[in-house]
Structure 1
Amino acid sequence: MQPLLRIGILTHPSISFTLKDSFLIDGCEQILLQGSYTALFNNNSIQISGNGIVLNATSFLLKSDSTEAGFVIHNVKIGIQFHWERHEDQEFKGALQLLIDDNNVVAINHTPIEEYLTSVISSEMSATSSLELLKAHAVISRSWVMAQIEKNLRLQTKDATYQSFVQTEQERTCWYDREDHTLFDVCADDHCQRYQGIQKANNPAVVEAINNTYGLVLTYDNAICDARFSKCCGGVSERFENCWEPVEHPYLVPVRDLNDDSLPDLTTEQGAREWITGNPPAFCNTNDARILSQVLNNYDQETTRFFRWTVDYTQDELSRLAKERSGIDFGDIIDLQPLERGASGRITRLKIIGTKITFTIGKELEIRKTLSTTHLYSSAFVVDKTSINNAIRFTLRGAGWGHGVGLCQIGAAVMGDKGYSFEQILMHYFKHASLTKRY
């Protein structure tokens, strides 16, 4: 039997929603709700008001007897902290749960995993995508979310420990993963997987892909794989442990994004520079707008350069940015020194040298967040420093978009377009994994 998921949609002191059909309050079936309402955090409880009704409780679970009953949550923030961040109204099916977190109301959608996947794949992929790409993505998205449920259960045991932050006087290492969430299984944004409601779930090809792979997951040693994906690996995928917790997953290892097994050594500065400033062949090295439109939706296509990219900062710009984003006053930054690189050339430890302090940060997302108003495309970059009339300028030349672990979406789109099967695509990116039907 397929699992039931709890997806966090929105956290805010006040949430507006519209019940398009009749919903009952769990535990209080005599009250029937339909229409527009506001859920407000008020005096350590949630107050629902609208249509002449005012209800107060510490939590609510709104359910319908109909599997087709829907509700709209208004003003949902998507692309949080990315350059495409915006708000939109989103419609969902299933149950609506309202909980308190600090001084906020949290809206959580309860829905079966296959319904969830229909929206996720439609949100991540285009209707023009090849069926094999859609099937591959259905398998990895299903695998990832089921692995998170299993991880939740492990973390809830008394002897389970989890650490995602290490700091000393000279260094801060942290990584950002789904364990940031404690009230629900996964969130609805890029932090986990894009889940943007049933209005994004009307792609017949996606429905076909999900039906054709129903219950199918990637496994390794009888455990469901923590399958990951990013937009563009830049030519070589990265190891899991270089981006998140220091745990080795044999199926998340470096892969050359080409139909051969050659792997350049990108852990050295010379190797990384030659690779990143070059234009190596790779599945994801494409400018084919038709293929890119399969993976990049309208706001992703606001970014046109990602296989290789360049960002320039003056010394003042970089110094202000790093202080604002990290909370550390470096003074004037005089150098950026990569200390460690992963298999894809992504920097995992970066020393920032300032006139006031020298400090080392990691892992890859912490570096990307510190050196951009949102996120750098990736941490696979080299630093060129120039000085003209005593004015220092930093140029970051980079490769790829995202963490680079697991499946490369653009590379997989190219593979699908070339006629590779979904099994071939999955086995290319997830070495040593197997396909297993779990329900």
Structure 2
Amino acid sequence: MSQNPVDSNAEGLSIVEKAQKTFYSHGTYSSSPPCDGCYDDKGTFCVWPVAVFAQAVVDGARIYPKELKGLIPKAFDAFKPYETREYPSVCTASKYFDGNKDIYFDDNAQIASAYITAYEVTGDKQYLDKGRNIVRFLMTGYDASGEPGGVRWHVGKTGSNACTTSESALAALRLSKYVPNEAKYYIDFARDCVKWVIHRLQDPEDWLIRDGVEYNDGQGFSVNDMKWTYNQGTTISALSTLYGITADQWYLKEAEKIIRAVCDPNTTIFDRDTQPEFRYYRDNVFFYQLLAEGFADFLLFCGDDTDPKYAKLTQEQTLRNQVYIHQYLKDPKDGLYFQTFEIFRITPKLAEAFDALTGENRKFEPSDGERAKGKYEKEPVEKRPLVKTLLGQGGAARVFFQSARVNPKFQ
């Protein structure tokens, strides 16, 4: 008996509505008990989960204006307690207090993109102004020397990374569409960012983007070889958008290289302890959501011009992740989602499901990210209560909204 197909956008809507009821109260987002993404025992969220969820709200409001437009002011007013006094509209990682300089460029790049999307959906210029303020701030983090170059990851730290640089490029490109007299300025900045990521961080052996560059106590710098889905996704999105603007074949060819790499189950972003046909990303939904967006952006801007094999790879990889996340990460008890692709780390039952799927004999290895924090951290991980997170719901909702651009429904 065949099941009815799942509407990917409708699944995203369901997650947003349930998460709003679960985590929002009195003008802010919090969790009781504290969970992954919280920074105190009261369950107060860092700004990053708020940013991912706000982006999910505006993603969904494009498709469901009646249901979600009313949530936009609530989701975006939640940024106000994080806003600095020093840089207009820029947010600190925790709620602002006098002297708080804990400012991450990647957090703010995501916030900028969310504001610009909110402007697209509502036409309310306050959101565009805030997005522009943040993009101008992001540009101050760019190291034009090239040694090492890129956009810094933190105002008080050295070193640059892929996600900060590519996400800053994306925010600038999104802004350029709405500020035509400044567009060249933002496009040139994005071009420099993307070329730096490819030149400095792409692994020539597998074409994947590495995490970033780190200073070594005055002894130069080294590349952090860690590879994550979000670094691939943001770079694909930036390359694809630049191709859409410039028609320069270099951007298309570079995007194709990364598409090929992220669809190859032999590369290191996959869990390679299983047979190739059962390999999924070694990651979380809150990171993968940016690769889901990268897949959709690649087809939007490059789909007509790319070799059909890359379009097919993109569509197939998007589909297998829609199916996997919906089947294994959704909790039927409440309709909310767990975070990790490594389902053997969620519950013993899901560890059994993983073994049934893959033919492996993987033991249950409880993930700290799926368990309550605060007072519960005194207990062994496996004895802490399972929890859902705002970061996980924002990530899962975005996966389904962005993947719907590729596969509106899936079986």
User: What band does the TM-score fall into relative to the shorter chain?
Assistant: under 0.3
Larger relative helix fraction? 2
Higher-Rg member (1/2): 1
Normalised by the length of structure 1, the TM-score is 0.25
Structure 2 length as normaliser, TM-score?
A: 0.26
More strand by share: 1
